[in-house]
Each structure stands twice: as C-alpha cells, then as structure tokens.
A and B are shown apart, each in its own frame.
Chain A
Amino acid sequence: SQQGEEDPQALSIQEGENATMNCSYKTSINNLQWYRQNSGRGLVHLILIRSNEREKHSGRLRVTLDTSKKSSSLLITASRAADTASYFCATDADQGAQKLVFGQGTRLTINP
C-alpha cells in the first residue's frame, strides 16, 4: 500500500511563480526523497533529506521535513515551463531498507 499522501494532486501555475507540493507519510523513516517524472518516463532524483534534517536546498528547490508531523514539502521557486512534470515523494519502506514507498504524486503544469 502507498505510504505517502501528496497534495495537491494537480497544480497549475504561471511561469515565474513558486510551486509548493506537500507529502505526508505514516511510519518512521531514515530519509525522504523527491523525484520528478516527465511524461510517464523514468524517474529522476531531485533531492534527499535525512530524518535528522529539517530543511535542504538544491538550486531552485527547497525541501522541508517535519518528522513530528510526518510531512514534507517541496518548493520550486521561479518556476519554468520545463518544470512541468509529475513530482513524487518517496520514503524507505522499512528503516534501513532500500525499497521505496511512493506518494500519490502531484502533477505540476507551468503555463507560459
């Protein structure tokens, strides 16, 4: 079963605006990761945040993690048309395991 819940399921914004996506999970984790998927292709890793971290940045991406609320957010700043994709959070299914449990995903559309 899917551990993660993401919201919103779909998000449409104008180019240049910021996009925020949220993810919640149910069990203890070692880390949480965010992935991007373009047009039903393979997933591309964006960023990993460990359970003892609260915030992490990578370029235009900012990820937060609140382990007390079992939630994470992904912020994409100054969005571009090329950011149009589906975004998934993923957690390690069992602490220490390599297999991942994915959230339902957010489909992001950037309008030019």
Chain B
Amino acid sequence: SAVISQKPSRDICQRGTSLTIQCQVDSQVTMMFWYRQQPGQSLTLIATANQGSEATYESGFVIDKFPISRPNLTFSTLTVSNMSPEDSSIYLCSVSGIMNTEAFFGQGTRLTVV
C-alpha cells in the first residue's frame, strides 16, 4: 500500500492568483496522477507525472494552466495558475500499485476561487 500526504487540504484564493498543491508519497513510485473533481461531478484526469520527464496532459488540460513538477520518485506538485471561479474543484493526487492493483489517493485539496 501507499500513504499519500497532500496539502493544503483546502484553500480560498483570489481570482488571478496561483496555488501550488503538494503530494508526498511514502514510497517510490514511477507515475503519479493528478485528478480534478468539479462540484458534484466525477474525477477527471488532468495529467500523469513521470519523474525526469515532462508530464503528459489529457485532452482539455494544458501545461500553462496546470504546470506540474516531479523532482523525485516520492513527490509532485500541481499548480493551478491564473485561477478563475471555474477552477473551484477538489484536486487529488494518486498513485497506482503494480499492474492490476488498486490506486491510492491523497485526501484531496478543496479549492475555492473567489
């Protein structure tokens, strides 16, 4: 299993500013995943973060808006840039076990943009 520490757990931010979310895993993992969960909705994958290379973004998400860092095998950050109220969501980081096993999630960051 993996234990993921994600912070901040919540924040209220002014529009136009940026917020960086941190995700720390208690073991080394190859890939880390960042998801967004808009209010009352399901999870949508933003990007996959690999150590030593640029993140791979899903359709509809771009690096300028959601820059990701992955400096080592246990840590990643997601920045939500130039925020607008539409960015108000829960952001979750996740790692997977070896193939065909469960995924582990951080507790999420509840972001409100005002």
Tell me, yes or no, whether A binds B.
yes
Min C-beta distance of B93 to chain A, whole Å: 9
- Name which of A11-19, A63-71, A96-104 contacts chain B: A96-104
Q: Count residues of chain A with CB under 8 A from any CB of chain B.
A: 25
- Contacting pair A45 B108 (CB below 8 A): no
Report, as a range, how many residues of chain B touch the other chain.
Answer: 20 to 34
CA separation between A33 and B43, bound complex, in Å?
14
Identify which of B59, B100, B110 gathers the most chain A CB atoms within 10 Å of its CB: B100
Let me know if B42 and A45 touch, CB within 8 A.
no
B105 CB within 8 Å of chain A: yes
Query: Bound complex: CA of A57 vs CA of B44, how far in Å?
Result: 28
List chain A positions with a Cβ less than 8 A from chain B: 1-2, 30-31, 33, 40-45, 48, 50, 88, 90, 93, 96, 98-105
